[in-house]
Amino acid sequence: MKLHDLKSPEGSIKRKKIVGRGIGGRGGKTAGRGTKGQKARRTIPAGFEGGQLPLLQRIPKLKGFTNPFRVEYTPVNLDALAALGVADITLDVIVERGLARKKDFVKVLGRGELTAKLNVSAHRFSASAKAAIEAAGGTTSEVALPFAVRPPASGNQHQNR
């Protein structure tokens, strides 16, 4: 037996009942829906609860909003920078070693100990990270963000105003 030899059992496939085609035969006029009433008419809306206030209206809605201009930084700690074993750490080195992605904004945080002198350039530094780097004899330089005041808003905003 092959796949093309397979058939459905006799009587298992039934034709769909066609109703509502006039009063000239079975399934005409009221089309099996009885007379009058809500179920005899069009479909009942999804979520309809018989006149009771629907669940969707009873539950509390989300409050607040999401700031479209939020700048999100990728955190990189001092212990991760010390583990790189490089004296001059730029954004390219951070991306190359897999600590951040190319499009990310990097913020250096102060977790970990520094023994070597490091020259680090990133978008932002925490106060503790800056103090630790400078205490070890290194320097910090902030890279300017690619926008002047705030990042471009995400979403469907009109370009030509």
| 68 is a domain residue | no
Residues paired with 109 in a beta bridge: 77
Domain residue limits at 96 = 73-142
Say how far apart CA 142 and CA 126 lie, in whole Å: 11
Tokens of 9: 């059992």
Q: Cβ(107)–Cβ(122) under 8 Å?
A: yes
| 80 is a domain residue | yes
Q: Cβ(23)–Cβ(29) under 8 Å?
A: yes
Query: What domain count does the chain have?
Result: 1
Written as tens digits, the pLDDT of the chain (161 aa) is: 899 999 999 889 988 888 888 888 788 888 888 888 888 887 888 888 888 999 989 998 888 888 888 889 999 999 999 999 898 999 999 999 999 999 999 999 999 989 889 999 999 999 999 999 999 999 999 999 888 777 777 655 444 44
| 8 is a domain residue | no
Say how far apart CA 112 and CA 145 lie, in whole Å: 26
> What CATH number does the domain containing 107 carry?
3.100.10.10
What is residue 155's predicted lDDT score, i.e. its pLDDT? 54
| 21 is a domain residue | no
| 89 is a domain residue | yes
Say how far apart CA 89 and CA 155 lie, in whole Å: 34
Say how far apart CA 6 and CA 116 lie, in whole Å: 76
| 159 is a domain residue | no
101 DSSP assignment:
-
- Kindly give the residue spans of alpha helices, DSSP state H, lying in the chain: 55-58, 78-84, 91-96, 127-135
Please choose, from the candidates 126, 103, 111, the residue with its C-alpha nearest in 3D space to the C-alpha of residue 81.
111
| 62 is a domain residue | no
pTM: 0.57
